[in-house]
Structure 1
Amino acid sequence: MAEGKHPLLMPFLALSTGLVLGDRYALSLPVSAVAAAFLALLLSCFVRHRLVQGSCTFLFFLVWGLYVLPLWTTPPEAERSILRYERRGAVVVEGVIRSLPMVAGTPGGSSTRFVLETSGVVRDGRLAPASGRLMVYVRSGEVSPGRGDLVRLLMRISTPHLLGLPGEFDFGRYLAHQGIVASASVARADDLLLMRGGVQDRLVASVDRQARLMGDFIRACLPDQRVSSVVAALLIGDQRRIADDLSRAYTRAGVSHILSISGFHVGILAFVVAQAVLLIATRFETLALRFNLRRVALLSSLPAMLLYLLLTGVAPATARSVVMLALFVLALYVERETDPVNALLVSAMMLVVVNPPSLFHISFQLSFLALWGMVLLVPRIMGRFGSIRRGWARSLLRFCAVSCAASIATVVPLLYVFNQASLNGILANFLVVPLLGYGAVLAGFCSLLLVPVCAPLARLFMWATGKLVAVSNRLVEEFARLPLITFGGITALDMLAFLLFMGLATFVRPGRVRTTLCLLTPLLAIAIHFSTPPLADGRLHVTMLSVGQGESLLIRLPPGEAMLVDGGGFPPDSGRDFGERILGPALLRLGVRRIDYMVMTHAHPDHLGGLSFVARTLPVGQFWEPVPGGDGGAYAELRAGLESRGIPRRLLAAGDTLPLPGGVTMAVLSPPVSQRERRGETDDGEMNEQSLVFRLTYGEHSFLFTADAGFATERRMLGQGVELASHLLKVGHHGSRFSTSEEFLARVSPRIALISAGSRNAFGLPSPRTLALLRRRGVAVYRTDLDGTVELVSDGRCLAVGTPWRPN
């Protein structure tokens, strides 16, 4: 390792290690530990020994990382905390808006989110002090106040919690890294009252006002929202109005980076400003004689970049870009050589020191990994084609190398975080980046600069910008049809191996040792994957997924076939896809690549919500549902997706017996055959009683699944004398007091009961009556609201229960 060549490598590595350890294990150190480490660092300056100095440097920054993170993420004192009002119903909160309000959805169906710095809660007509930042979600409407405005609004406060799913995104930790203590829900934008406008942050309010004026100009010139929203994202960092399907298309095409203000956009702005200043300055002979105009033009780009940073909301990616480009500009100004690795380390160090939790932001991580990949790979690729020295061929080769390097360097991190990645960007960048970057961004900047000088010419440039974006949108939608890389098996160990490989390739001197280590690192990670037990282990696995106030079970048959029973779901009016956000990632983390049997017990939203997404994205062998089938919009969407892929459908009724692979038998106990010809809509209660009830048997064990069936279904099965005795009972209707009668429970006589319910749900489920009944009979109860995802494993003789993803 060449420490002298990269002096910031050790401090950045130590600081990052301290932050990661503090975040992962909730470690913290007193200020006295920091003082002791700093004293050791000072004393090491008098010891001219590289190992001693390096060790003390590493120790100080490690301790600093452990100490500083809680300063950002610890909630305010309990007696003043806004968390005192959590789950107390609706309360009136006063505070200052601290982030640009972000709008999602389409006009007429939009929602808004922003960060609120609370100052108090209105109680009995008086303002009681309260502190803490909230992530506020306005479910309907667009908020007009901006950063710095003092507002008062009616909201419900709640703290995010983990469901207990494999690979689950920790939203609470994500908020904590931003200094946000909880989330809050507001029904309508009309519920927000502006108390005072921008008095506390006049500069920020003024900048936001200019950004809004620019956004209004863009939308006035470009009435097509799909075009104007992309132009606003490109020029002023406003992604608030980009339609969800268009945003997903840019992501699938691998070019979503172009919509985020980054070094590319800032570099173009710096180039335009510098060239404009140089062009104007050269018209004055006095200036040309007294100053070095090229150096002056370079410096003139610095205030322009700073203003642009403020204009776009000081996003981490933009801040990183401005810092890096400012360093390059200053280096060019003093005519010094620049090392891109050192520039990257300086930028990273500055951003993490100023805002330590930024290390955990995915935009920060992907931006730096993409740049790291460029720094590492582009020179090597260009070196392989040394014969191409100049001209358009050399420029095209460099463009290809940059695109490939950024895409390759972010594949593993994207698979780790999102379970999917796109290499389509390697191809899409060839067309989209020139259209948007060199065309639309340049024309758009010229348009905005000309607005106060010549409005007609500004509109002409904006018209050209819109045409380029419209062509780009069409290309992106075509590229988005190409397949993605989907894999849920990337682990933290793989990420560590990936970073180690990048570090070895960057910081170890070329030679046989580096080559050997670079080869061994990925091979070791692959070997560990091959040493893990196979998914098909000859045993029956029953996994109740913790999906909140819904229900979903994954059953793995002994030979490895997967049966998905129900798919959980959000409330129908949430506008979110449960399968995309929750169910799909969990299945990928569990290693599911195919659903052999998709089973829907009934067509309620909390049971079928995620099935449509799974049917669209994973191979499905068969679809089973109870007679006579379902109804409603979500069910129609599911059926349409199944039919479009040619997935066979089978209706099940009491008396059906289905032999499954591996010696497992499925016996259907309800609904009765008399329902087979029934059609038409049913109310909620009736649909519950039409739920699919079935019993699995494997060796000496049996498992009874009752969906949302209630007392009526239980009485019918008792009266028919069907075999109900089972080792496991999946309790009906989330543990409702209208299911699991005492007589029914006596007939089943289970040893284990599973209940799927949402944490602190508004329905009071599972009911105390049901829990007391299970407790009296000595049944071991596992609940997803307390235990997270529950897994039972049977080899036909022994039955084991585990809660490996229990939330803290």
Structure 2
Amino acid sequence: MRRKADSWYYARPSDDLVARRSPPYFDYGDLVTVSGTLRRPEPFGGFDYPAYLAAQGIAGIMSADSAEIAGESGGWRKWPYSLRGRLSESIEDTIPYPQSALGQALLLGLRGDLPPEMVQDFRGTGTPHLLAISGLHVGVLVVMFLAASAWLFGRRGFYFLAVPLIAVWAYALVSGMPPSVVRAAMMGSGYLVAVGIGRPGSILPALALSAGLMTVISPEIVQRVSFQLSFAAMAGDALTQPFIPRWSPESTAPSRSWWAPLALPMVRAPLMMLIISWSAMLATWPLLAFNFREVALPGIIVTVLALPAMPFIMAGTLAAAAVGLVSTTLGQFIGWMVWAPTSYLIELVKIAPKWTLQTDWAGNWLVAVWYLALGASLLLLKPGRLGWLWSRVKDQAGELTRRPMEPAKTLPIITGAVFMTAAAIALWWQVGTGGDGDLHVYFLDVGQGDSALIVTPEGRQVLVDGGPAPDSAIRALSEAMPEGDRSLDLVVVTHLDADHSRGLIDVLDQYEVGAIVAGTESSTASMYAQWQAGVERNKVDVVSVHQGYALDLGSRVVAEVLNPRSGISGGGSANNDALVLRMTYGSVSFLLTADIEAQTESLLALMGAGIESTVLKVAYHGSKASSTAGFIDAVGPAVALISVGGDNSFGHPNDEVIGRLMRQIGGENIYRTDRHGDVEFVPDGVELWVETQR
């Protein structure tokens, strides 16, 4: 199964469904027929899974091997999910990975494509709330459309407020209507209505109204931790609102320094973000401690540092996605601009310390005592009730901010726009300037499967196979290729077994592919129907090759096709009919053997010196069905590479195969993707350098 648009879909649809629809094949509103055994969910790892599902109205679960469509429905509710899917695909097409995955999470609430290590970085720094669509995201949207509406229609009249109001609820529908978005949409609507009637006021009444309406519509929602955290955070911000010094545009005292109008907003903005983050943390801390048994300590500081990038990421991702629906090329240019702030956020949570406080001791008493103490503190801090010190500080802070601000109103926007444009130009230059003069051969860690990227000295890029998962090649390519590069000169598919070709389908959808090189494509292969649909959908030319063909990749890099042999079958085995390449660069050579078995190895061994190679990509993940002693002797490798998944159920690589390789080249010259991660070979035509990911 694979995750797409926040739902689970089977990755093995029927052939007729593949012919009629594009991935992910199943749509919202489909009526499906499944067979299996319904069972009660069980708690695991201290997590009350049954209660979690019950809060969503789910009483049982089922595992099914297949699903058939019995009918279609969904009505008007189908279009938001359809639009969400199209926007998600547009983000993938216009923004490089993993920045695209973060953009999908922040804009659409789709977190299925986020790398696990990135999710862990956000959790470890106490900033997972940035990934959950909430008031921050809706607030950015309101400001964007309010500004656009004011520019188009002026600050009066029906359209000034109607446009952002419609945009807010359209966004809520497209994002899947999670509680945090519904709450924010209600509050945003209340704010817009209040502005319309000239009575903007406190946040608390709007917050209370939205909470009341949501619990009336869905009473069980109060049991969800996400609902509790969302409202607690917003309540914390609302209760501290009276204590936040307001910016006064009017000048009550002349500025004494020319730089004051520029310096004041740079001081006040971080201060405001710090106060807001601190108040939200105080309001949610006991809930986090009680429900998750740990609290990340750097959350406040990291949030303050992250918030300036959020508007640029949200606005840029929305623009790239919307424009990408019309023109992928224009959308990609905007996507390059989004790359800078998105990369900043990714690097921020990566390098920030991961300090956590374990709270296994937290119980119901903590929640009760904390909120009672917090409420009492707010009452005491109210001006006139032991709050004279706070009032004094607030008055002084307010006096500091009453300075002319007109010259600096647009400074953050202009600075951000200049920075994003410069980053886009630098990224375009990096992508467009070609190779670095060296040949790079990457064997990518895609789990139990095969995938290799060849980058020639001129910068041509050739992908050989794509691994076993829909996004396996996408994730690996994001590390190996330049940021923002979405083009491949050639895609080579050795055979259509899922562990080699499933990941290529997403590559065809998300990358600009010049052509496809393939050997024998059997219509009985497990991925044949989906592969053909992907090729036709993306209109990529396919060149069929066999022994005797040669691919001239430029810069003296030549890949000779050794298998399949024209007119000779591999005895009914798709593995033995797989495409085998021998690539040479000067005196250094690579033998890419796909999943061939002993039968084809013996035929290739008859070629003698024609298969001798410096680097051997061990066939069939090191299976005992391949890598015979005679074949290894005929190849005479100096280095061997095994593409294999850790702790796989097939027992790959086989101990006997490892023994043969060790006798030939020694254990220090055997590289494995499950142990070394991505393995990069850099030859200069005579010598060979090797670099591993770990």
Normalised to the residue count of structure 1, the TM-score between the two structures is 0.48
- Tell me the distance in 2 between the aligned counterparts of 1:693 and 1:619: 24
Secondary structure, aligned partner of 1:802:
strand
Q: Deviations over 1:32-69 (max 9, x none)?
A: xxxxxxxxxxxxxxxxxxxxxxxxxxxxxxxxxxxxxx
User: Does structure 2 conserve the Cα–Cα contact (< 8 Å) formed by 1:569 and 1:607?
Assistant: yes
Shift of 1:693: 1.0
Quickly say closer, same or farther: Cα 1:718–1:345, change in 2 above 3 A: closer
Secondary structure, aligned partner of 1:640:
helix
1:621 maps to amino acid: G
In structure 1, which of residues 746, 770, 787 is the aligned counterpart of residue 676 of structure 2? 787
2:676 maps to amino acid: D
Report matched runs for 1:493-504 at 5 Å.
494-495=344-345
1:344 maps to amino acid: I
Quote the sequence identity (%). Answer: 25
In structure 2, which of residues 582, 586, 590 is the aligned counterpart of residue 699 of structure 1? 586
In structure 2, which of residues 275, 285, 288 is the aligned counterpart of residue 353 of structure 1? 285
**Could you tell me which residue of structure 2 aligns to residue 323 of structure 1?**
232
Shift of 1:618: 1.3
Shift of 1:599: 0.6
Secondary structure, aligned partner of 1:765:
coil
Shift of 1:648: 1.9
Instruction: Give yes or no for the alignment of 1:624 onto 2:520.
Output: no
Secondary structure, aligned partner of 2:661:
helix
- Tell me the distance in 1 between the aligned counterparts of 2:237 and 2:60: 41
Secondary structure, aligned partner of 1:423:
helix
Q: Deviations over 1:265-284 (max 9, x none)?
A: 35627989xx9xxxxxxxxx
Secondary structure, aligned partner of 2:606:
helix
Which consecutive unaligned segments of at least 5 residues does structure 2 have? 1-27, 64-96, 100-112, 125-167, 194-201, 248-271, 350-400
User: Does structure 2 conserve the Cα–Cα contact (< 8 Å) formed by 1:331 and 1:338?
Assistant: no
**Could you tell me which residue of structure 2 aligns to residue 658 of structure 1?**
551
Q: Deviations over 1:693-738 (max 9, x none)?
A: 1100001201111000111011111224461111100000000111
In structure 1, which of residues 733, 738, 743 is the aligned counterpart of residue 625 of structure 2? 738
**Could you tell me which residue of structure 2 aligns to residue 344 of structure 1?**
276
Secondary structure, aligned partner of 1:772:
helix
**Could you tell me which residue of structure 2 aligns to residue 304 of structure 1?**
212
1:781 maps to amino acid: I
**Could you tell me which residue of structure 1 aligns to residue 451 of structure 2?**
552
Instruction: Give yes or no for the alignment of 1:410 onto 2:355.
Output: no
- Tell me the distance in 2 between the aligned counterparts of 1:616 and 1:531: 24
Secondary structure, aligned partner of 1:312:
helix
Secondary structure, aligned partner of 2:555:
coil
User: Does structure 2 conserve the Cα–Cα contact (< 8 Å) formed by 1:654 and 1:668?
Assistant: yes
Quickly say closer, same or farther: Cα 1:733–1:490, change in 2 above 3 A: farther
**Could you tell me which residue of structure 1 aligns to residue 180 of structure 2?**
262
Quickly say closer, same or farther: Cα 1:338–1:324, change in 2 above 3 A: farther
Secondary structure, aligned partner of 1:712:
helix
User: Does structure 1 conserve the Cα–Cα contact (< 8 Å) formed by 2:237 and 2:276?
Assistant: no
**Could you tell me which residue of structure 1 aligns to residue 465 of structure 2?**
566
Shift of 1:593: 1.9
**Could you tell me which residue of structure 2 aligns to residue 801 of structure 1?**
690
Secondary structure, aligned partner of 2:590:
strand
- Tell me the distance in 1 between the aligned counterparts of 2:331 and 2:172: 11
User: Does structure 2 conserve the Cα–Cα contact (< 8 Å) formed by 1:546 and 1:756?
Assistant: yes
Q: Deviations over 1:591-637 (max 9, x none)?
A: 64211111111111111101122112211111111136554463233
Quickly say closer, same or farther: Cα 1:310–1:785, change in 2 above 3 A: farther
- Tell me the distance in 1 between the aligned counterparts of 2:279 and 2:243: 20
Q: Deviations over 1:209-264 (max 9, x none)?
A: xxxxxxxxxxxxxxxxxxxxxxxxxxxxxxxxxxxxxxxxx9x9997446332355
- Tell me the distance in 2 between the aligned counterparts of 1:753 and 1:721: 19
Shift of 1:773: 0.8
1:620 maps to amino acid: V
1:787 maps to amino acid: H
**Could you tell me which residue of structure 2 aligns to residue 418 of structure 1?**
none
2:613 maps to amino acid: S
Shift of 1:304: 2.6
Report matched runs for 1:606-621 at 5 Å.
606-621=499-514
Q: Deviations over 1:288-307 (max 9, x none)?
A: xxxxxx99977964873795
Instruction: Give yes or no for the alignment of 1:605 onto 2:498.
Output: yes
Quickly say closer, same or farther: Cα 1:269–1:299, change in 2 above 3 A: closer
In structure 2, which of residues 661, 677, 681 is the aligned counterpart of residue 774 of structure 1? 661
Quickly say closer, same or farther: Cα 1:558–1:300, change in 2 above 3 A: closer
Shift of 1:588: 6.1
1:304 maps to amino acid: G
1:550 maps to amino acid: G
User: Does structure 2 conserve the Cα–Cα contact (< 8 Å) formed by 1:327 and 1:343?
Assistant: no
Secondary structure, aligned partner of 2:186:
helix
1:689 maps to amino acid: N
User: Does structure 2 conserve the Cα–Cα contact (< 8 Å) formed by 1:562 and 1:595?
Assistant: yes
In structure 1, which of residues 413, 422, 439 is the aligned counterpart of residue 318 of structure 2? 422
- Tell me the distance in 2 between the aligned counterparts of 1:772 and 1:523: 55
- Tell me the distance in 2 between the aligned counterparts of 1:508 and 1:337: 10
Q: Deviations over 1:89-109 (max 9, x none)?
A: xxxxxxxxxxxxxx9997445
Report matched runs for 1:341-420 at 5 Å.
341=273, 344-350=276-282, 353-354=285-286, 355=288, 408-410=312-314
2:677 maps to amino acid: G
- Tell me the distance in 1 between the aligned counterparts of 2:476 and 2:628: 31
Shift of 1:751: 1.0
- Tell me the distance in 2 between the aligned counterparts of 1:368 and 1:426: 29
Q: Which has the higher contact order (CA 8 A, sep 6+)?
A: 2
Shift of 1:750: 0.8
Normalised to the residue count of structure 2, the TM-score between the two structures is 0.55
Shift of 1:795: 1.9
- Tell me the distance in 1 between the aligned counterparts of 2:182 and 2:300: 15
Q: CA RMSD in A?
A: 5.8
Shift of 1:316: 7.1
User: Does structure 2 conserve the Cα–Cα contact (< 8 Å) formed by 1:654 and 1:670?
Assistant: yes
Shift of 1:658: 2.5
User: Does structure 1 conserve the Cα–Cα contact (< 8 Å) formed by 2:496 and 2:528?
Assistant: yes
Secondary structure, aligned partner of 2:659:
helix
Shift of 1:144: 7.4
Shift of 1:752: 0.8
Which stretch shifts more, 749-758 or 104-113? 104-113
Secondary structure, aligned partner of 1:326:
helix
Q: Deviations over 1:647-685 (max 9, x none)?
A: 22211111222322111111111111114xx7xxx99x7
Report matched runs for 1:581-592 at 5 Å.
582=475, 585=478, 592=485
User: Does structure 2 conserve the Cα–Cα contact (< 8 Å) formed by 1:569 and 1:610?
Assistant: yes
2:685 maps to amino acid: G
Q: Deviations over 1:464-522 (max 9, x none)?
A: xxxxxxxxxxxxx99999957656965986338999xxxxxxx9996789969957976
1:767 maps to amino acid: N
Which consecutive unaligned segments of at least 5 residues does structure 1 have? 1-102, 119-130, 137-141, 155-164, 180-249, 276-293, 377-405, 413-420, 429-476, 500-506, 571-576
In structure 1, which of residues 535, 540, 546 is the aligned counterpart of residue 439 of structure 2? 540
User: Does structure 2 conserve the Cα–Cα contact (< 8 Å) formed by 1:493 and 1:525?
Assistant: no
User: Does structure 2 conserve the Cα–Cα contact (< 8 Å) formed by 1:657 and 1:666?
Assistant: yes
Quickly say closer, same or farther: Cα 1:347–1:152, change in 2 above 3 A: same
- Tell me the distance in 2 between the aligned counterparts of 1:486 and 1:719: 51
Quickly say closer, same or farther: Cα 1:637–1:298, change in 2 above 3 A: closer
- Tell me the distance in 2 between the aligned counterparts of 1:647 and 1:734: 29
- Tell me the distance in 2 between the aligned counterparts of 1:295 and 1:528: 43
**Could you tell me which residue of structure 2 aligns to residue 171 of structure 1?**
116
Q: Deviations over 1:298-320 (max 9, x none)?
A: 79648737957984366676456
